Amino acid sequence: MTIDSAKLTHFRNYSGAKMVFHPRLNALVGHNGAGKTNVLDALYYLCLGKSYFSSGDRMVLQQGTDFFRLEGVFTADDASDIVIVKSKPGNRKEIEISGKKVEKISDHVGRFLCVIIAPDDIHLMMEGSEERRNFLNNTIVQTDRSYLDDLITYTHLLKQRNALLKAFADKTYFDSLLLESMTVAMYDPAMRIFESRDKQVRQMSPVVAETYGEISEHRESCSIEYSSQLANGNLRLLMAEHVEKDRLLARTTQGIHKDDLLFLMNGEPLKNFASQGQLKSFVLSLKLTQYKIMEINSGKKPVLLLDDIFDKLDQSRVRHLLRMLIKQNFGQVFITDTNADRIKNIIDELDSSYSIFYVDNGQIDIRAME
């Protein structure tokens, strides 16, 4: 799959911009704050119906405007689709695919596969289990619609159960039968989510190790492990055993919302021993593994968005990374950098055709390099 072109209207710092992309490699260069990352966010938005960097649509509106519009032309298997996203505060966001409206955002997920790697991924992936779960969810939902349905169901029921537990605490009252009647619907989707996550991590683990070895020239070894309360029993038993704890804390203490991914380097916790360069290499490996797994499970090549990958990586690792992206045919790749000569020289060494976009305060100039 490729994104042939994109139009941005009132999106972040772009009043209006149109870009026609190279089918393999696209480099966006410019000073910090020029708008390079905003282009990647627009492409991610077109693929998944939401921003990667902001929690709400208001945050991506260009200052002083009251709507934004994105348009992208996607090609896969010799067929093209035009994706349009329109949003205006106070109105329901609209997504159209070749003139047909998408009823729910969740129906859009998985149609156009996308993986993004950004500088803040290091902090997000290393600090909170929620972000690691989100990474795992994002990997699975793009190729498994039933998983997304289970996740939506479980999350909705979890909110209801927590609200009921809080209401019991506020009223100093407890009804175990009422709580169980609400909880019972969580058991089956929770087990299916657990099984999908366990299978996914088993599939990813050897790929992470191999990919990290390629980037780091095998200086260290890395691995991932899946941690879940459901590994020790089904959710029905866990809930029954901890119902009193849930009542006292007024929240649900057991379930797949407590799952985590463990990151290891040479058998030890990664964050305790890794340098900044090693951490970034690991996150790159993790995200490239996400790409490879999505390709295997879908039979399609996702779009790969790389934001500021040169920061905290030595030139050797950068060359190995770009060589891997080009030689292993990762499909269509977008890269941002602040140094035009650096990225051009490295790509030229690898003898690849590409397009380079010079970005300056919402203005874009393109040059194709064959």
What is the token pair recorded at 357? 């976009």
3 state DSSP class of 359? strand
CA dihedral 318, 324, 327, 331 (to 10 degrees): -100
Residue 313: the pLDDT is 66
Mean pLDDT of the region 49-66? 90
Residue 208: the pLDDT is 94
CA dihedral 309, 310, 313, 315 (to 10 degrees): 130
* Cβ atoms < 10 Å from Cβ of 260: 16
- CA gap 345, 88 in Å, rounded: 42
Residue 353: the pLDDT is 84
Q: Does the fold of domain 121-297 match that of domain 1-113+300-370?
A: no
Residues 96-125: pLDDT tens digits? 999 999 998 889 999 999 999 998 888 777
Mean pLDDT of the region 66-90? 92
Residues 231-247: pLDDT tens digits? 988 999 999 999 999 99
3 state DSSP class of 60? helix
323, pLDDT greater than 80: no
Q: What is the DSSP letter of 308?
A: S
Going by pLDDT thresholds of 50, 70 and 90, the confidence category of residue 58 is: confident
Record the pTM: 0.92
Q: Report the half-sphere exposure of 106 (CA within 13 A, side-chain side).
A: 11
* Cβ atoms < 10 Å from Cβ of 265: 19
Q: For residue 153, give the H/E element and its range.
A: helix 145-171
Residue 367: the pLDDT is 65
Place of tokens 């790749």: 333
370, pLDDT greater than 50: no
Q: Structural domain boundaries of the chain?
A: 1-113+300-370, 121-297
Least confidently predicted of 54-63, 108-117, 169-178, 200-209: 54-63
DSSP 247-259: HHHTS--SSGGG-
Q: Considering the domain delimited by 121-297, tell me its CATH architecture.
A: Up-down Bundle (1.20)
* Cα distances (angstroms) measured from residue 27 to each of 21, 309, 338, 362: 10, 12, 10, 16
DSSP 89-146: TTS--EEEETTEE-S-HHHHTTTS-EEEE-TTHHHHHHH-HHHHHHHHHHHHHTT-HH
Residues 244-300: pLDDT tens digits? 999 999 999 999 999 999 999 888 888 888 888 788 889 889 999 999 999 999 999
* Cβ atoms < 10 Å from Cβ of 253: 16
306 CB contacts (<8 Å, ≥6 apart)?
A: 116, 117, 333, 334, 335, 336
Residues 184-234: pLDDT tens digits? 999 999 999 999 999 999 999 999 999 998 888 788 889 999 999 999 889
Residue 91: the pLDDT is 87
Least confidently predicted of 36-50, 58-72, 209-223, 307-321: 307-321
**What is the CATH number assigned to the segment(s) 1-113+300-370?**
3.40.50.300
Residue 82 phi, psi (nearest 5): -105, 120
Q: What is the mean pLDDT of the chain?
A: 90
Residue 167: the pLDDT is 96
